[in-house]
Chain A
Amino acid sequence: MFEMNGVYTELPWLYTGLAAYALATVVAIQGVIRVRGGSAGATVNRSYEHIVLGFALAGIALLAISIGERWLRIGHGPFVNLFELLMSQLFSLGLIYSLIYWRYPIVRPSAVVALPLMWILGIWVLTLDPAGSPFPPTYHNKWLWAHVGFGKIFLSFCLVGTAIAGVILLRGIKQVSSWFRHMPADAVLDALAWRFMLVAFIFHSLMLVAGAVWAQDAWGRYWAWDALETSSFLNWLLLGALLHARTTYRIPIRVGAIMICCIFIFAFLTYFGAPFYSQAAHKGVI
């Protein structure tokens, strides 16, 4: 498909990293299916979670090597084109989700939602040309790192919240509801999911501020309502509005879960959709 011949040295690492994520996904799904039959008070074997984490960590390490290889090959970090954006996003989503997975056992069954969501990016990146793009002169700025870094943390916490919300919604499907019977009640998951969305909200705010500082340095204006700015601001506003709505109205748990999924979809479209409806993701980018 692409010019291999040793040119795109990052691809073998990328493919094996994605394979590790795929194995983590398979083991996570098999694991929750296997423990579904446990009755209250019975003992279930959750050792599969070790394997999921192991594969996820292997995927993260391999993706890190892949990003490093590419960095050495093209001379700049994964900031410019969609291929490297997806690569780095797969790395950061995997890293932060794995940290949460390791630290908070309560969320582990949500991997059956989080990992397939990451696979949207995984499949997408396989369809893209890995050729490098020129590094714009305005990207030589430390605020770019802060902006991109906060954005990745935002999307990662959003993913965690969405995965938990996904569990709430899946429980409504008769055929799969038993997969999650050993997880806490929906009310607990709801509170937990919104807690992660609040953390996401903080990092989204930091992303906007860091982006504004970078834009001021790079293009001589801190805000210009370009495609990404408008979309990310609307995303921030939607998240803020829904947080306020929760304190104002008694929102049913499933509706709350759908709201979280909407925020994630909006964020996903902002990150990965803007290049399709705007010639330059940020105006004056080149």
Chain B
Amino acid sequence: MMERLRKIASTRFTLVGMALLGVGAALSYDNPVGTPVWVLVVPLVLLAINLLSAILTNARINRRGGLLVFHLGLLGIIVLAAIGRMTHMEAHLEIIQGGGFSQDDLMDIRSGPWHAGQLDKVTFVQGPYTVDYAPGITRGLTHSHVMVPDGRGGWEEKVIGDDRPLIIDGYRFYTTFNKGFSTVLTWIPEHGGPVTGTINMPSYPMFEFKQSNTWTPPGGKEINFWLQLKTGLDDNAHWTLDARRAKGTLVINSNNRRIELQPGESAVLEGGVLRYERLASWMGYKLFYDPTLHWLFITAIFGILGMATHFWRKFSALPIHSTNGEKADWSSGAGDVPVNTSLQATAVANKGQSNV
């Protein structure tokens, strides 16, 4: 058994695994979703088996603390990354200002088969947000205000944005460049009760001139919406996107009729009455969940520290000598030293190729 493990632990096997992993990485370049997962999984499994065998059988690894920690770290990273992919979840969502998070709103969901998070317990409410822009409409910092339960039955405000995600029960919500305006509308049908909802317009200011959308009310005909915005946007100056300071006129086109509505105004259309309640904003979030993140970091750092410790000890025992034993002393003045073409046999030289 041990003999078989020793063969599997061969560094030749390691080199084959590394070469395969290199090919897998190159194939995954820029398109990890479209690349078959086995191009990475196969070499990683081979390397994990090789690593485990080496840790168990190779005395040059398992009797050297630092090197052992490094290789255990590598093995740990492979295992944790695998667990992470099996349990992870990624998605996108858009939340309107004043609206709460609902997992029903998630889009582009990708998750591992073992994902068993408690997304249904995640609660937060989107507040207002601001986005700073430099001249040339260059996006700066995002400040998104959200309300989260404070654990005492109340709400606590948090400001997130860019590299500061909202983290609830391991779920990370990142603001994105995708955000814009929406209109809160109430549809009062000729028969039945009123329904209030929102129509999100395309991302702003990216699609400044395409603020349009369509909706077909129940029992009615398709309505085309166009939002005329006044946000103070200036291409040549610093500007802050803040929906609280914006004004929007809603232009609706239904049955070849063009009607302009201000917030609070209504229009009688075929099948019912449409009321433009107010202008609102929406924020696009990226959702990410991976329960192994912290462990991955800790494992990687321990592994690197192990490697650093190993080489520190090794190099301390074999200090770098100068050609003639001189010290880096600049105070001696002339700097004349004898030529030494036949180097004194330092420990470094004697150790030969496998020294480092």
Contact = CB atoms under 8 A, between A and B. Distances in A.
A9 B25 CA distance: 43
A278 B321 CA distance: 44
B84 to A, nearest CB: 9
A26 interface: no
B330 A225 contact: no
B328 to A, nearest CB: 5
A137 B307 contact: no
A140 B14 contact: no
Given A184-B349, A234-B25, A209 B162 contact: no
A201 B74 CA distance: 14
Contact of B343 (A39, A141, A185, A283): A185
A122 B266 CA distance: 67
A167 to B, nearest CB: 12
Interface string B50-93: 00000000000000000000000000000000000000001000
B134 interface: yes
B45 interface: no
B328 A104 contact: yes
Interface stretch (B139-147, B185-193, B209-217, B257-265): B139-147
A220 B340 contact: no
Nearest to A201: B307
B320 interface: yes
B236 interface: no
Contacts of B196: none
Interface string A19-51: 000000000000000010011111111110110
Nearest to A227: B30
Given A205-B304, A213-B297, A246 B354 contact: yes
Contacts of A201: 307
Contacts of B138: 134
Contact of A245 (B15, B297, B337): B15
A206 B301 CA distance: 8
A248 B335 contact: no
A250 interface: yes
B339 A237 contact: no
Interface in B324-353: 326, 328, 330, 334-343, 346, 348-349, 351-353
A42 B311 contact: no
Interface SS majority for chain A: helix
Nearest to B320: A104
Contacts of A187: 349, 352-353
A81 to B, nearest CB: 13
A50 B335 contact: yes
Contacts, number: 192
B338 A209 contact: no
Contact of A225 (B28, B288, B311, B328): B28
Given A41-B339, A50-B335, A198 B30 contact: no
A286 B139 contact: yes
Interface string A87-126: 0000000000000001111100000000000000000000
B340 A182 contact: yes
Interface size class of B (residues with CB under 8 A): 35 or more
A199 interface: yes
A286 B162 CA distance: 11
B7 interface: no
A269 interface: no
A131 interface: no
A188 B18 contact: no
Nearest to A101: B328
Given A104-B328, A195-B320, A234-B22, A40 B342 contact: yes
Interface size class of A (residues with CB under 8 A): 35 or more
Given A224-B32, A240-B18, A46 B343 contact: no
Interface string B234-271: 00000000000000000000000000000000000000
Given A42-B338, A191-B356, A205-B307, A225 B30 contact: yes
B355 interface: yes
B8 to A, nearest CB: 15
A226 B162 contact: no
Q: Which of B163, B301, B322, B353 has the most CB of A within 10 A?
A: B163
Contacts of B311: 198-199, 202
A222 interface: yes
Interface string A196-221: 01110110011001001110111111
Contacts of B22: 234, 237-238, 241
A225 B22 CA distance: 12
A106 B139 contact: no
B158 interface: no
B293 A216 contact: yes
Top 8 closest A-B pairs, CB basis?
A47-B335, A184-B343, A220-B174, A217-B163, A38-B339, A134-B138, A105-B322, A137-B162
Interface of A: 35, 38-47, 49-50, 102-106, 134, 137-138, 140-141, 181-185, 187-188, 190-192, 194-195, 197-199, 201-202, 205-206, 209, 212-214, 216-222, 224-227, 230, 233-234, 237-238, 240-241, 243-248, 250-251, 253, 256, 278, 283, 286
27 contacts: A39-B339, A43-B337, A43-B339, A44-B339, A45-B336, A46-B337, A47-B336, A134-B140, A141-B163, A181-B339, A183-B323, A184-B349, A195-B320, A195-B356, A198-B356, A199-B311, A201-B307, A202-B304, A205-B303, A220-B172, A221-B288, A222-B293, A225-B28, A230-B30, A244-B14, A250-B353, A256-B353
Interface of B: 11-12, 14-15, 18-19, 21-22, 25-26, 28-32, 90, 134, 136, 138-142, 161-165, 172, 174, 286, 288, 290, 293, 296-297, 300-301, 303-304, 307-308, 311, 315, 320-323, 326, 328, 330, 334-343, 346, 348-349, 351-356
